Amino acid sequence: MILRAVFGINKGVYYNELGKRFSQFLDLFNSPIYTTTLFLPFLQKNLGKWSPWGNFKYQQQAIYTLLEQEIEQRKEVKNGEDILSLLLSATDEEGHHLSKAEIMDELVTLLFAGHETTASSLAWAFYWVHSQPEVYHNLMDELATINPETDPTEIAKLPYLSAVVSESLRIYPSVIFAFGRTLKTPLEFMGYALEKGLTLVPSIYLVHHHPDIYPDSKKFKPERFLERQFSPYEFIPFAGSNRRCLGYALALYEMKLVLATVLKQVDLTLANPRPILPVRRGFTLSPSGGVKMKIANKYQFIHR
Ligand code: HEM
């Protein structure tokens, strides 16, 4: 879906190739060797395709080559409202376009940030809905009020569906830490005297499990989000302030529409009733082994 948002219409073989390359590239970050290399510049030595940094650069280049081809083609045919079209036509105050390198960096950032995060969050949402019969029934009762003609923006406003998505993002936030913030001035914070230049890394997971804010925090209870509103300091799956996730509105919209559309089309059951534990996958907190499900029944529900 992030490929479609960024590049527009479905492009068959090109998508498959780029999708495959991207997944392989993201998988590199599952290994501590690769994540360590990213943070320690002296390990960043290209000793050929079989060395960690060499492989990283090789895979990165393969993606850049594919993106470059697409940008060249798109310069000829400007079509549509996708992000690549917008980037190609954007100009600064003096009428200058973005360079190819700038466009590629923007594309990679969006694909990287928008792929695994949303996919993991959706996998968790499917898991929670199907591991709690009461939640499933409440959600299906609400989804019974929509039909193929219902406007997607109306679906995204459904209260219980929204609460299910929020509670999924709370209990296992797919990004556990916000980016670090470096203090420009000294700060007195909860009795600590913090010096200028110190980098603070807010923990999203710990905020979401603070017992004063979320009693019984290990329990999946969408009702929390119906009973009260949480402030931007209490519920922070997309972190906060002026560097809050750029894609948060798209991600929430996407999650709600995918859940509603799939649940209206198929009856799913978890392939294995045992609890699924979280595991680090790249930069995200993902369901260990994935969420395997079986299709019990299929229905005709084609959204306009
Ligand atoms: C459920 C899905 C997602 C989650 C949980 C998530 C979470 C986050 C978090 C925690 C940050 C760090 C923000 C901070 O430190 O203040 C972030 C940054 C970012 N996200 Fe997301 N994200 C999601 C989906 C997306 C999507 C779909 C896109 C792109 C369309 C995206 C693009 C970005 C970008 C560009 C940044 C960097 C923003 C900046 O530094 O100014 N994210 N995201």
pLDDT in tens, 51-65: 888 988 898 899 899
CA distance 21 to 56: 12
Going by C-alpha positions, the residue among 291, 294, 295 that lies closest to residue 265 is 295
Alpha carbons within 13 angstroms on the beta-carbon side of residue 201 total: 6
Residue-level pLDDT, tens digit, the chain, 304 residues: 888 888 876 667 778 888 888 888 888 877 777 777 777 788 888 888 888 889 888 988 998 998 888 888 887 766 677 888 889 888 999 999 999 889 988 988 898 889 889 999 999 999 999 999 999 999 999 999 999 889 999 999 999 999 999 999 999 999 999 999 999 999 999 999 999 999 999 999 999 999 999 999 999 999 999 999 999 999 999 999 989 999 999 999 999 999 999 999 999 999 998 999 999 877 788 999 899 999 988 777 666 5
CA distance 90 to 78: 12
* Whole-number percent of the chain with pLDDT over 90: 58
Burial class (CB in 10 A: 0-12, 13-18, 19+), 292: exposed
Per-residue pLDDT, 252: 97
List phi, psi (to 5°) of 181.
-120, 125
Residues 6+ apart with CB under 8 A from 184: 196
Global confidence as pTM? 0.90
> Which H/E stretch holds residue 189?
strand 187-189
Ligand 1 pocket: which of 238, 256, 258, 281 to mutate (most atoms within 8 A of CB): 238
What residues are in contact with ligand 1 under a 6 Å CB criterion?
2, 109-110, 113-114, 117-118, 121, 174-175, 178-179, 237-240, 243-247, 250-251
What separation in Å is there between the alpha carbon of 114 and the centre of ligand 1?
7
CA distance 289 to 279: 9
CA distance 106 to 82: 13
Alpha carbons within 13 angstroms on the beta-carbon side of residue 255 total: 31
CA distance 4 to 49: 30
pLDDT in tens, 203-261: 999 999 999 999 999 999 999 999 999 999 999 999 999 899 999 999 999 999 999 99
CA distance 235 to 166: 9
Per-residue pLDDT, 303: 63
Partners of residue 286 on adjacent β-strands: 279
Closest C-alpha to ligand 1, atom 20: 245
- Give CA 71 to chain center in angstroms: 24
Closest C-alpha to ligand 1, atom 2: 118
Residue that has been written with the tokens 């895979």 in this structure = 59
List phi, psi (to 5°) of 228.
-150, 165
List phi, psi (to 5°) of 193.
-95, 105
CA distance 45 to 143: 53
Residue that has been written with the tokens 């019990």 in this structure = 296
Structural domains present in the chain? 1-98 (no CATH), 117-304 (1.10.630.10)
261 and 122 Cβ atoms separated by less than 8 Å: no
Greatest CA span in the chain, whole angstroms?
61
- Give CA 58 to chain center in angstroms: 25
CA distance 236 to 233: 7
DSSP result, 1-22: -HHHHHH-S--THHHHHHHHHH
Closest C-alpha to ligand 1, atom 17: 245
